[in-house]
Amino acid sequence: MEFINDWFRRHFADKQLVILILIMLSIVIAIALFGSILTPVIAAIIIAYLLQGVMNRLERHGMSHRLAFWFTILTSLVGFMALVLIMAPIMIREGVSLVQQIPSMMTQARRALSQLPERYPELVSSDQVNQVVTSISAEALELGQTILTYSFSSAITLFAIIVYIVLVPFMVFFMVRDKETILGWILAFLPEERPLTNHVWNEIDRYIDAYIQGKVWEILIVGSVAYVTFEFLGLDYALLLATITGLSVLIPYIGAFGVSIPVAMVAFYQFGLTPEFGYVIGAYIVIQILDGNVLVPLLFSEAVSLHPVAIIIAILFFGGLWGFWGIFFAIPLATTISAVISAWPDLSDLPEEVTLAQSSEHQAAS
């Protein structure tokens, strides 16, 4: 017990550490309790953060704050309208068509599997094929029930989409325009003397900014390359599959494997076991290899310095805790924890104002 008491006295006697811990716990509790309700707000914060980064870059190149603001807002509005009015209808149409083709895809898969024992009797047995076919049938039945359930809740989903389309742009506009006012209001609730918190936040802010900017570019590049590739190969549902391929980078390692299933299913249903099927699968593998070994190191060389095992654990933990937003922010959250742990045990590396503030507190206490 004395060892535990000494540890608590050594690490929690400092006021700045207590302030930092309380702020972090408050944020975690707020997200855990109200995360589902505040989803549009979180989405707006992410977009506003992204646009603020664009504005900062424009201002560094000599553009005035007002001109940078309106240029960023109008450009993002044009992109948003193009997404809603041009890309969204095509993707919805392709998605509906793909869902309607799923039973035929399952039938073709079962037919192809049933031929394997005849072609490769030394490798595959009839019992193994029957087990796989039974599993596929069960998955198809479950998928059909899921689609049926989704159709009943389509009105609620449509209402949520309308809320996002209408409210999020308004919140983004005011968050970017009134950034200083909003931050001032939030900071008014925090202690005035918080040098350690400010130091940790500056480190986190640098990582998060680089991560979000890099992740958006990664999605756009991977999605665009996948679309051009799928169109060149004549693959059906090219826009839909390219979009989910781009979004798959939100979940490192796991996302690439998950998206490979619909890509392979569509290619097999369209081409069968032909060279064209191999071209599609090979192209998809090449895209993912280039993304992981070329694009990611270029975009995230300063944003992510975590071991792959730590990234996977963070995705599983935060994804299970907060769903989609937990997956999206898994790497920044893991980086945040790493930054806090790095600052915790040794305060000698902090900026001078942090050390001076802590020294004055200890002198006052003694």
pLDDT in tens, 54-66: 888 888 888 888 8
- For the chain, the farthest-separated pair of C-alpha atoms sits apart, in whole angstroms, at 86
H-assigned helices in 153-253? 154-177, 179-187, 195-232, 238-247
With cut-offs at 50, 70 and 90, classify the pLDDT of residue 282: very high
Residue 25 CA to residue 28 CA, distance in Å, equals 5
- Mean pLDDT within 251-266: 82
- Chain segment 8-33, per-residue pLDDT in tens: 666 566 676 677 777 777 777 777 77
Domain ranges of the chain: 194-366
- Chain segment 202-220, per-residue pLDDT in tens: 777 777 777 777 888 888 9
Which of 35, 341, 336, 344 lies closest to 209, judged by CA?
Answer: 336
Residue 81 has what pLDDT? 82
Is the distance from CB of 194 to CB of 16 less than 8 angstroms? Answer: yes
> Cα–Cα distances in Å, from 92 out to 88, 240, 241, 341?
6, 8, 12, 45
CB atoms within 10 A of CB 57: 13
Among the ranges given (126-135, 162-171, 357-366), the one the predictor scored with the smallest mean pLDDT:
357-366
With cut-offs at 50, 70 and 90, classify the pLDDT of residue 232: very high
Residue 226 has what pLDDT? 93
Residue 108 CA to residue 111 CA, distance in Å, equals 5
- Chain segment 27-55, per-residue pLDDT in tens: 777 777 776 677 778 778 878 888 888 88
Among the ranges given (38-42, 82-86, 128-132, 216-220), the one the predictor scored with the smallest mean pLDDT:
128-132
Residue 90 CA to residue 22 CA, distance in Å, equals 47
